[in-house]
Amino acid sequence: MSLKLRETHKIEFDAIDFTGKMTLNGLSRYMQMIAGNHAELLGFNYYKNSDEPEYYWILSRVKYEITHYPKWEDTIHIETYPGGCDKLYAVRLFDIYNEVEEKIGQIIGDYVLMDFKTNRPVRIKGNTDALAFLDFPYEGETLKKLKLPKQCLKVEKRKAYYSEMDLNNHMNNAHYIRWAMDMLPMSVFESYEISSLEINYNASIEYGMEVNVALAQDEQGNYIVYGNSLDDTKNYFVAQINLYAKNQ
């Protein structure tokens, strides 16, 4: 059995923004589809709300890097494969190609397998059966723990709604990305493209929760977006967004 799966997707209308180009939020949905399909083929596609759940996956950290954004009705090819294990993380890699087979991006995803009964992480290393596919050391880029900035530019309160929930009854990871990008002014997207977006999912946002979403910038000028509880005692996510000018 091949450890790689390749899918072809046509960029649909709901995966673009006002520029007519694919959004990272749209790309994240294609990522979720191929990751689920591949895990199903390899025998470890676990969901928390299945009939007899034993395990379930959570995405803990992810990094998107894009050098060229396809447009509406363009075709992209996504290839995914296990990257190995890094401590408790099962690393999944994604390579993204345009319709003439030029590589235009990549995604690194750090997943954690959780035990349904204990809600504690399950070690990949030394595991058997289907999880043996993942039991080799990861040797690529390690995703870092993103730090909260000391000051922010603005804060907005957001509420998690029904349409944002996933199969684990938590806000789907694609919507965290949408929340992060929504904090940037429209003028940013008129003049810049996102070269990379890295996000740490530190705690689950559940239905009806209200979250303070804050925008900041680091010393290099990169945007930092994070979501905290209303009393600032708990952090739900931190995202770092790097940009490049469209005329470059």
Residue 82 sits in the same domain as residue 39: yes
* CATH code for the domain of 184: 3.10.129.10
Q: Which of 75, 108, 143 is the last residue of a domain?
A: 143
Residue 99 sits in the same domain as residue 218: no
103-115 and 55-66 as β-strands: parallel, antiparallel, unpaired?
A: antiparallel
CA distance 146 to 112: 18
**What is the count of structural domains for the chain?**
2
Residue 110 sits in the same domain as residue 155: no
Residue 152 sits in the same domain as residue 37: no
- Lowest-pLDDT range of 26-35, 53-62, 196-205: 53-62
Residue 64 sits in the same domain as residue 184: no
Task: Kindly report the number of other CB atoms within 10 A of residue 59's CB atom.
Answer: 19
Contact 161, 42 (CB under 8 A): no
Say whether pLDDT at 124 is over 60.
Answer: yes
For residue 164, the 8-state DSSP code is: G
Residue 136 sits in the same domain as residue 218: no
Residue 163 sits in the same domain as residue 126: no
Contact 79, 4 (CB under 8 A): yes
Residue 120 sits in the same domain as residue 197: no
Residue 137 sits in the same domain as residue 167: no
Condensed to tens digits (0 to 9), the pLDDT of residues 105-116 reads 999 999 999 988
**CB-based contacts of 35, cutoff 8 Å, min separation 6:** 80, 92, 94, 109
Residue 9 sits in the same domain as residue 117: yes
Say whether pLDDT at 186 is over 60.
Answer: yes
Q: Which of 143, 172, 203 is the last residue of a domain?
A: 143
Residue 24 sits in the same domain as residue 108: yes
CA distance 49 to 40: 16
CA distance 145 to 239: 10
**Mean pLDDT, rounded, of the chain:** 93
Residue 17 sits in the same domain as residue 101: yes
Say whether pLDDT at 2 is over 80.
Answer: no
pTM, to two decimals: 0.94
User: Which residue range is the domain that position 120 belongs to?
Assistant: 1-143
pLDDT at 154: 96
Q: Which of 121, 143, 165 is the last residue of a domain?
A: 143
